[in-house]
Amino acid sequence: MATLYKTDGTQIEVKPSNGTDFQLAELYELLGCSMIEVVRMKRGLIMIVDEEGKLSRKQANPEATKIAHGFESIFSNDFIVGTALVCREEELK
């Protein structure tokens, strides 16, 4: 099970529609984007975000940023924007 973190603080548990792994079209729809970026975390987890989120001036995502900082996956002065999906590595192929 994966968790979708929205910029308003909402967290939604989601599953891949095929039951095993998220497909690109599905990720584009969940994140509201056309290009994804994978942020590697620890313990087999990844965060999937909008690759162009900062360019399109999407809203900052405080909860996703806190998680990424907690895993030391982004620099201390960096931040996550837009909706973010945290899932296991094997859920993205």
Whole-model pTM?
0.94
- Looking up tokens 């907690």 gives 70
7, β-bridge pairs? none
CB atoms within 10 A of CB 12: 12
Number of domains in the chain: 1
Domain with 68, as residue range(s), is 2-91
Whether pLDDT at 78 is above 90 = yes
Q: What is the pLDDT of residues 9-55, one digit of tens each?
A: 999 999 999 999 999 999 999 999 999 999 999 999 999 999 999 99
Question: For the CA atoms of 73, 79, 84, 85, what is the dihedral angle to 10 degrees?
Answer: 10
- Looking up tokens 């909706």 gives 83
14, β-bridge pairs? 2
Q: Report pLDDT for 31.
A: 97
